[in-house]
Amino acid sequence: MTPRITWDEASARRYGRQLLGTPAPAGTPAAEVVGALLAVHAQVLSAAELSVALRLDGATRQDVRAALWEERGLVKTYGPRGTIHLLPAAALPFWSAALTSVPTGPSPVRADVRMTPEQEDEVVAAVGDALDGRRLTVDELTDEVVARTGPWAGDLVMEAFQQKWPRWRQVMHRAGQAGALCFAPDHGRKAAYTRPPRFDPLPAAEALGVLVRAYAHAYGPVTSRDFARWTAAPRGWAADLFASEASAGGIEEVDFEGTPAWVAAGDTAFPEEPVRGVRLLPYFDAYAVAAQPRERMFPGAASTRALARGQAGNHPVLLVDGVVAGVWHQRRQGRRTTVTVEPLDRLTAAQERELAAVVARVGEVLEARPELVVGKVTTGPHA
């Protein structure tokens, strides 16, 4: 018989596997924590540091920075959806092969600005060559790319933030996904780039299978539509990929609240006890972004207060018993930080005490003295 999974069971397992119930023991490499989430959104690096450190017992933002910039167990690069993520360096062989195999939709770039496929390949190769063993700012990298390709790569034709970027930057995310580029520590106030350690990517089909199974393990039960949204892939392609992986025995079907969904093969054990507790998650935290169905993760008033035009991640969120129950914001001033939490329903006395402990832990991670304020959050969503 097809296993039947309830929302409470799925939520409890995701919560545990995302290290929200019990953080990883002190000393666990930060890369293992990131691997448990698959990837950590890092467009706002401070939020990524908080996502990781809150899941690692006793860790601070400095521990995450050390793993990223000194130990190099983590890599900041372009991940799912072409957006900036932290990835485990050891996982790059499968990530690179999988991400470069995901088909893309129509290009948002104007036809007269686009590059040919041959030019795109030429730029990616030039980026990797220029960054091999070096750290360059984007302006320095532009000079190197133009020198290796031609003046066309440097044409200022890309509309970006009320300015124009050189043509080659339309495939910057592709260079990251291909392993030709990753971020280096900032050079002053400018972003800097380098090349990650060289690796041999897995065969594409193998890598996509690994990604589907890992996604189902971390966030299951899942649907191919969930996966398509998470990877920004065409729905039909994702459905075919899931069907192929099911035929190969990598995933199996379950009944998730009356809807067909998938888990990794044999991974059908779920906790019996529902989630209980209070947590704060920063911008773009993987648990809030990837857990589906979204209407169950953001119930009632949370669907309007904590989502931005239906998109998750733009607000830091308060979790109560595993689902979004409010928003929060922190404002740092020197060595102090004011943490304002806006619950959507009244908290019990026990939940208020737990929230105070969670805010204290946030202060430890940020290396600041925290002050908790329960009230209206006036800050808008992150763009």
pLDDT digits over 229-242, tens only? 999 999 999 999 99
Tell me, what DSSP letter sits at residue 98? H
Residue range 58-62: mean pLDDT, rounded: 98
User: What is the C-alpha to C-alpha distance for residues 369 and 351, in angstroms, rounded to an integer?
Assistant: 21
- Which band of pLDDT confidence, cut at 50, 70 and 90, is reported for residue 162? confident
Torsion of CA 194, 118, 169, 78, to 10 degrees: -50
Return mean pLDDT, the chain: 96
- Determine the pLDDT at residue 160: 81
Distances (CA, A) of 131 to 137, 151, 153, 185, 217: 10, 19, 17, 14, 35
Amino acid identity at 175: A
pLDDT greater than 90 at residue 3: yes
Per-residue confidence (pLDDT) for residue 163, from 0 to 100: 85
What local confidence, expressed as pLDDT, does residue 108 receive?
81
Residue 38 makes CB contacts below 8 A (sequence gap 6+) with 214, 215, 218, 286
Report whether pLDDT(109) > 90: no
Q: Residue 104: is its pLDDT beyond 90?
A: no
pLDDT value at position 159? 85
- Give the three-class secondary structure for 184: strand
SS3 of residue 9 by DSSP = helix
Average pLDDT score over residue span 72-90: 96
Share of the chain above pLDDT 90, in %: 94
Residue 378 confidence (pLDDT): 95
Question: What does the longest C-alpha to C-alpha distance in the chain come to?
Answer: 66
The region of weakest confidence among 97-111, 168-182, 307-321, 334-348 is 97-111
205 has pLDDT over 90: yes
Q: What is the pLDDT of residues 355-375, one digit of tens each?
A: 999 999 999 999 999 999 999
Q: What are the start-end ranges of the E strands in 33-133?
A: 40-41, 74-78, 84-88
pTM over 0.75: yes
The confidence score (pLDDT) of residue 17 equals: 97
Q: Is the pLDDT of residue 161 over 80?
A: no
Distance CA 21, CA 24 (A): 10
pLDDT above 90: residue 110: no
CA distances 120 to 96, 124, 158, 174, 347, Å, are 17, 6, 15, 9, 54
pLDDT of residue 336: 96
Between 354 and 291, name the one with better pLDDT.
354
Residue 106 — very low, low, confident or very high, per pLDDT cuts 50/70/90? confident
What angle is formed at CA 282 by the lines to CA 279 and CA 285, rounded to 5 degrees? 95
Q: pLDDT-based confidence at 216, cuts 50/70/90?
A: very high
Averaged pLDDT, 34-50: 97
For residue 180, pLDDT over 80 is answered with: yes
pLDDT at 1 > cutoff 90:
no
pLDDT band for 107, please (50, 70, 90 cuts). Answer: confident
